[in-house]
Amino acid sequence: MSVVGNLRKVARMARRLRPVDLSHPARSPLGSTVVNCITYRDGQRHGGFRSVSEALARVRKDGEGFLWLGLHEPGEEEFAGVAELLGLHPLAVEDAVHAHQRPKVESYGDVLFAVFKSVCYVEHERLTATSEVVGTGEIMVFAGPDFVVTVRHGHHGSLGPLREALEADPGQLAKGPAAVLHAIADHVVDEYLAVADAVQNDIDQVEAEVFAADGARGADPGRIYQLKRELLELKRAVVPLARPVQQLAGQPMAGIDAEIRTYFRDVGDHLARVTEQIASFDALIDSILQAHLAQVTVAQNEDMRKITAWAAIVAVPTMVCGVYGMNFDHMPELRWTYGYPLVLGVMAVACFVIHRGFRRNGWL
């Protein structure tokens, strides 16, 4: 199709696209869900567009460069116009709007649709049984021949710093939408590594408390279990991404040339590292929990031995008092003046001997 034909098609779509107003100037002049709408040519930034359709028309008129449109939690109606303008597949659009997807990469003609789980470490003064440690969100990426659309869900994972880093490297940005897709994947995996390192500090803290002198009574098993739950949340974000990264690194896909696939192999190496780290954390937390339960069992056994030992000691005077309390007329030393002190002395000596035996055996 000629350039004129493309422009006519864009113009028809633009007429059907609902106009966006200046409803959220603090974020973007294009609307509350549009974070940024910028075109790039030869790695250089070009802006000043009043609508997405105008920016896309400029890219297709020039025949080079690409559009990068950033969205944050768009609704169905808000995203419908963009999807129609760019020719996005309805299934991918549904996934992008409703979120809660597994990490994946799918190809729809000449457009790639990728889903990444973003994570962040939730700061807290002290880990409790209800502390949130890992926060998750999602980043969806549509990478076409002349556009990139990023859809972000969640209150973290802003791509602003990433965009600035790419703009500082025009050579990489000039490689097109595939370079942006790689940068996002690399950024997400780097966040995994940072969160894993932060979680390790919590694990070290819990481990130190469990193996402290009073670990059996001072450690809270609820904290250990909560940490395991939060680690599982991180695992759900990280592990499923391995297959999509392998696809991007090893399989020919639309818009991904051999040079960019080399970069994805580096992302795969970093992802393998954090996956192994999470697996070791999971095993370590299991060991900490088992060690804590073993400490509790040992402490309970020690308490039972002490209770048993004191019960045996108390049983001697109880038995003697019980015998003399039967009030028979003919009992040993019943009428003797020193009978009462003698019985008390016998009970004291017996209790002392039993107590010393239990202490020698470590029961007291």
Position 333 in a domain: yes
Position 119 in a domain: no
Q: Give the closest residue to 68 by CA, choosing from 101, 29, 39, 106.
A: 39
**Distance, first Cα to last Cα, the chain:** 92
Give per-residue pLDDT as tens, 140-198: 999 999 999 999 998 887 888 888 898 898 888 888 899 999 999 999 999 999 999 99
Domain count of the fold of the chain? 1
Which residue type does 267 have? V
Cβ count within 10 A of residue 8: 12
Position 328 in a domain: yes
Q: Residues 114-141, buried b or exposed e (16+ Cβ, 10 A)?
A: bbbbbbbbeeeeebeeeeebbbbbbbbb
Q: Give the closest residue to 95 by CA, choosing from 111, 110, 81, 79.
A: 79
Position 167 in a domain: no
Residues 151 and 74 sit within 8 Å (Cβ to Cβ): yes
Q: Is the four-CA dihedral 155, 67, 184, 92 of positive or negative sign? A: positive
Position 177 in a domain: no
Position 159 in a domain: no
Per-residue pLDDT tens listing for the chain (364 residues): 443 344 344 334 433 333 333 233 334 444 457 778 888 988 888 876 778 888 888 888 888 889 999 998 888 888 888 899 999 999 999 999 988 888 999 999 899 999 999 999 998 888 887 888 899 999 999 999 999 999 999 888 788 888 889 889 888 888 889 999 999 999 999 999 999 999 999 888 888 888 775 655 656 778 888 888 899 999 999 999 999 999 888 888 877 888 888 899 999 999 999 999 999 999 998 888 888 888 778 777 877 888 888 888 888 888 878 777 777 666 666 667 777 777 788 888 888 888 888 788 877 7
Q: Residues 39-74, buried b or exposed e (16+ Cβ, 10 A)?
A: bbeebeebeebebbbebbbbbbeeeebbbbbbbbbb
| Tokens found for residue 141 | 């990426």
How many residues does the structure list for the chain? 364
DSSP assignment string, 200-211: HHHHHHHHHHHT
Strand residue runs (E) in 134-288: 134-143, 147-153
* Domain at 311, CATH number: 1.20.58.340
pLDDT at 214: 63
| Tokens found for residue 37 | 């709408």
Q: Which domain holds residue 313?
A: 297-360
Position 145 in a domain: no
Q: Is the four-CA dihedral 61, 64, 68, 74 of positive or negative sign? A: positive
- DSSP class of 256: B
Q: Under the phi-then-psi rule, with left for phi > 0, alpha for psi from -120 to 50, and beta for the rest, what region is 58?
A: alpha
